[in-house]
Amino acid sequence: SGPLVSAVGRLLAHADTLRRLGVQANADTPEDAARARRFGAAGIGLCRTEHMFLGPRRALVERLILAQGEQEVGAVLEELLPLQRADFIGVLAAMDGLPVTIRLIDPPLHEFLPPLEELLGAETARERALLAAVRRMHESNPMLGLRGVRLGLAIPGLFAMQVRAIGEAAAIRVRDGGTPRPEIMIPLVGDVRELALVRAESERVLAGIDDAPPIPIGTMIEVPRAALTAGDIAGQAEFFSFGTNDLTQMTWGFSRDDVEASFLPQYLRLGVFETSPFETIDRRGIGRLIELAVKEGRGARPGLRIGVCGEHGGDPDSVWFFHDADLDYVSCSPYRVPVARLEAGRAALPRR
Ligand code: PEP
Ligand code: MG
């Protein structure tokens, strides 16, 4: 009702005056970005670009899978470029004036390849070729497989196409009188050399685009090894964002997609877990990796901007942890933005 809504609004506005943590949202579409803004998000902390390759663009993804040699790959990427440019113009316009952290494609292959069952009755030559490709690319552990930066380095031109689309979208927004603030984020980095390669190529691409504003390049910290080598990685990153979903999965060594339907309920009953480690930050586990990465990252690069964009970014208890760990911002689903604002304010109050 009206009075309740305005009371909550006043409470959140008060929390905003107290809190030190910034609150952004995870959003991939202009609609989600607009919703996030209405809930008070100060930007997009995670725009997952793999979602942009589903739906009607599956046909292009299939062509990419079937492409033989760099020339054919290049031809598909040429077709993807204007589509991606339009995607980024949309989110940058919806978040005009605020940062938009665009993460380069990070698809677990099993979510992108056509399901094997669908192809088993393959009849046409194209279906048979697809079946062979899907069999060839099959992985036993797709979440530990050819994802993120690994895919970007394995398919030459893929990340460069996205970086070009981001740079060109920003330039178009500038010419239209907007204030685009894109940032580029590299997923699943485990070693500084992966990041250095992508960064060098991205800078080459961006240098050739007129009118684009400066675009910071940073990295997800979501592989335990990235947290352990954060000092090295900071040398190549203008910002860090903790991906606590993968960091939890890889630190515990269990699958984020399976645990709920598997042993998690029993662990909660037995008291091994008080809450799911995928919901509430595990202070003895990934919490220590985060503290280490903050210390070593800022030791190597003073003032390094650090956020979080995993599910924990909108969990009340975890928000307190991120405040204490001296992060700069949390990013969560648009609907959790108000809770994150409130808890970030409460966490900043003096404690008994
Ligand atoms: C994460 O791993 O926490 C993350 C934000 O990335 P994704 O959920 O897309 O793997
Ligand atoms: Mg991740």
Torsion of CA 10, 39, 280, 250, to 10 degrees: -160
Tokens of 247: 């960091």
Of 219, 246, 281, 331, best ligand 1 pocket probe by most atoms within 8 Å of the beta carbon? 246
- pLDDT given at position 3: 86
CA atoms within 13 A on the CB side of 47: 31
Q: DSSP class of residue 145?
A: S
Q: Please name the residue whose Cα sits nearest to atom 6 of ligand 1.
A: 243
Q: Give CA separation, 189 vs 202, 242, 265, in Å.
A: 15, 11, 31
Atom of ligand 1 nearest to the CA of 241: 5
- pLDDT given at position 352: 84
- Ligand 1 binding pocket (C-beta < 6 A) is 46, 48, 106, 222, 243-246, 309-310
Tokens of 24: 């952004």
What is the Cα–Cα distance from 220 to 192, expressed in whole angstroms? 12
Q: DSSP class of residue 115?
A: P
Angle between helical axes of 30-38 and 69-94 (0-180°, round to 10) = 30
Of 24, 44, 46, best ligand 1 pocket probe by most atoms within 8 Å of the beta carbon? 46
Helix (H, G, I), strand (E, B), or coil: what is residue 302? coil
Ligand 2 centroid distance, CA of 62 (Å): 23
Q: Please name the residue whose Cα sits nearest to atom 10 of ligand 1.
A: 246
- pLDDT given at position 119: 85
CA atoms within 13 A on the CB side of 291: 11
Q: pLDDT tens digit string along 74-85? A: 999 999 999 999
Atom of ligand 1 nearest to the CA of 245: 3
- pLDDT given at position 110: 76
Residues of the chain with pLDDT under 70: 1
Of 219, 245, 249, best ligand 1 pocket probe by most atoms within 8 Å of the beta carbon? 245
Ligand 1 centroid distance, CA of 70 (Å): 29
Q: pLDDT tens digit string along 227-279? A: 999 999 999 999 999 999 999 999 999 999 999 999 999 999 999 999 999 99
CA atoms within 13 A on the CB side of 181: 12
Ligand 1 centroid distance, CA of 307 (Å): 13
Element (H, E) at 150: helix 148-154
- pLDDT given at position 25: 98
- pLDDT given at position 55: 87
